[in-house]
Amino acid sequence: MKNSSVYDCHILQLNKIHNQAGNITIVQGEQNIPFNLRRVYYLYDIPSGGSRGGHAHKELFQLIVAASGSFEVLLDDGVNKKIVRLNRPNFGLLVVPGIWRELFEFSSGAICLVLASHTYEESDYLRDYEYFFKFKNEIIQ
Ligand code: TYD
């Protein structure tokens, strides 16, 4: 997690079965994503101009999907930053451990679906950016 980079995070195309009745995308166990799926949660009713995230994880892998609407994700590894826009339900952003993320520019009615590799543990979070920055840049161990 100390050496992870924003370049380890990338868009993953999920399957899509299309017919006249609409589309369906399936994520099953770890067949479609590069980690064991242990938890699903979703963000919704996000107020206009609101932002989420503002933390990194020590062990957690996540796939972030715009299940409805759109939003942007800022990724930061303490050296490099990149912004990814999500707006298609069959594309997810893989976020590896050790990456600071902020989610913003939510469209009205956006739903942010998150597939996660572990159950919720507050001890897995790094919520202080200064600490995160120093840790990634080996200013502190
Ligand atoms: P947090 O992960 O900080 O939200 P976000 O990154 O979307 O801004 O979580 C917000 C609150 O919800 C925080 O009090 C912890 C709680 N929470 C759980 O209890 N379980 C979970 O699986 C998640 C993701 C959050």
pLDDT class of 66 with cuts at 50, 70, 90: very high
Does residue 141 have a pLDDT over 80? Answer: no
The enclosing H or E element of 5 equals none
- Angle, CA 38 vertex, CA 95 and CA 125 arms, to 5°: 50
Q: How far is CA 42 from CA 21, 73, 74, 137, in A?
A: 24, 15, 18, 32
Cβ of 7 below 6 Å from ligand 1:
no
Q: Is 57 a catalytic residue?
A: no
Q: Which helix (H) or strand (E) holds 2?
A: none
Predicted TM-score (pTM) of this structure: 0.96
Q: Which of 10, 18, 55, 57 is catalytic?
A: 55
